[in-house]
Amino acid sequence: MRFLLAIYKYNPFGGLQRDTLRLVQELAGRGHEIVVFTTAWDGPPPPAGTILERVRVPKFRSNHARMAKFAAAFKKRLGKKDFDISVAMSRIPGADFYFAADVCMKVYWSYIHSPFALRFNPRYAAYLRLEQAVLAPPSPTRIACIAPAQMRDYAAAYGTQEDRMFLLPPGMDPACRRPPEPEAEAVRAAMRGKLGALPGDTVVLLVSNSVCNKGTDRAIAALGALPGPLKKTVRLWIVGRLPRGEIQSMLRAAGLEDRAVLLGQTDGVRDHLLGADLFLHPARNESAGSTLIEALAAGTPALTTEICGFAHFVQDATGTVLQGQFSHDELVKMLSDIIPHLDELKRRTLAYAEKQDFCSRAKVFADILEKR
């Protein structure tokens, strides 16, 4: 079969981009031909036999204007009909399938913006038009969801028909799983030694490319507000593409500047997770939260917010999910309560992860595409 996949831009670091590559690899491994329609492919080339079709969009235009141009170019590309199945990995209409990597914008933005802004701000209006064109009837596009909350939100916001949506399992890279002992402990010791963690330190890991969406500011403020004895044990590792100056200012305000390491962007975080004692992810906007799955698979307890699509996995494993509307005081209290008991939470996390399938998303999605 011949598949046409559309993704606005590929780089090797984003969750959507990793899902795209795994799907391409799965389909190519089954002998199918794949055409990837995109504005840019930054990183190692896709599997042999994959055709990259790059489309130009205006450089000196707004992000939403460039996305609208990309959507128009994809609509024109669909007219060639030289493929069997089309899949939109970005939120653009017209494809047979849409891989829903993001939260429902209409629902999420209604919490943080006024109706006036959503209606008259060109950026919001443009993205909402694209989302509506994909999700609302009479669009025939089938929706591949990665979290149950998406299905509820799409139905509530747009009346998306139940029979158009289906739920995929997580799609973690199997290489992220915790290695057997004694390798896991050796990796942990090496990472802690490399980053200067002492035996009595409680290492808290943040992974974020967005201060606001991923709740990086919430995490730093809460750690800074811990009672004195607990705060003195905390060592903070921060991985991701973040504004260094802004993060350093937050750390100074929290009194953590001497106990934090800013690691920048990395290709993977398994070893950091093995070295850490807690993965902290108090996100504001997170359709899934792939790193939550990676943390559980590594045996590292996680603390997150209910908004995350994968929060239910954390709740099942250790119950360390902040429910309802976010509260700084509640986060500080939960951190204070669990830090003394992280060894027990680690045992529960390891036992839970052993029974879970965290890696089959690309296989299941490819099966569905082939049946279609």
Nearest to 311 by CA among 136, 106, 149: 149
Using the CB atoms, write b or e for 172-206: b if 16+ within 10 Å: bbeebbbeeeeebeebbeebbeebebeeebbbbbb
CB distance 171 to 362 below 8 Å: yes
Tokens 């917010």 correspond to 305
> What local confidence, expressed as pLDDT, does residue 329 receive?
98
Q: Using alpha carbons, select from 41, 112, 103 the residue that is nearest to residue 309.
A: 103
CB hemisphere CA count around 48 (13 angstroms): 0
How are strands ordered across the β-sheet holding 165-167? 51-54, 33-38, 2-6, 85-88, 97-100, 142-145, 165-167
**Half-sphere exposure (CA, 13 Å, Cβ side) for 146?**
29
* DSSP-assigned letter for residue 10: B
pLDDT in 10s for each residue of the chain, 372 residues: 999 999 999 988 778 998 999 999 999 999 999 999 999 999 888 998 899 999 998 887 888 999 999 999 999 999 999 999 999 999 999 999 999 998 899 988 887 778 887 778 888 889 999 999 999 999 999 999 999 989 999 999 999 999 999 999 999 988 889 999 999 999 999 999 999 999 999 999 999 988 999 999 999 999 999 999 999 999 999 999 899 999 999 999 999 999 999 999 887 899 999 999 999 999 998 888 889 999 999 999 999 999 998 999 999 999 999 999 999 999 999 999 999 999 999 999 999 999 998 999 999 999 999 998
Look up tokens 């830090």; give the residue.
339
Spelled out in words, what is the top-level CATH class assigned to the domain 174-353?
Answer: alpha beta
Find all residues with CB under 8 Å of 169, minimum gap 6, and list them: 357, 358, 360, 361, 364
Q: How far apart are CA 119 and CA 110, in angstroms?
A: 11
Domains 2-169+359-371 and 174-353 share a fold: yes
Distance CA 231, CA 222 (A): 10
pLDDT on residue 117: 76
One-letter identity of residue 108: Y
The pair of structure tokens assigned to 324 is 């309802």
pTM: 0.84
Complete edge-to-edge strand list for the sheet that includes strand 202-207: 260-264, 234-239, 202-207, 278-281, 302-305, 321-322
pLDDT of residue 304: 98
CA-to-CA distance for 40 and 42, rounded, in angstroms?
6
What are the domain boundaries of the chain? 2-169+359-371, 174-353
278 neighbors 301 (Cβ within 8 angstroms)? yes
- The span from the CA of 250 to the CA of 257, in Å, is 8
b/e sequence 91-122, b meaning 16+ C-beta within 10 Å: bbbbbbbbbbbbbbbbbbbeeeeeeeebeebe
**Residue 199 three-state SS:** coil
Whose tokens are 């902290």? That residue is 280
What are the pLDDT digits (tens) for 175-193? 889 999 999 999 999 999 9
Q: Which of 137, 116, 135, 138 is nearest to 125 (CA)?
A: 116
Residue 262's pLDDT is what?
96
Question: Which CATH number describes the domain made up of 2-169+359-371?
Answer: 3.40.50.2000
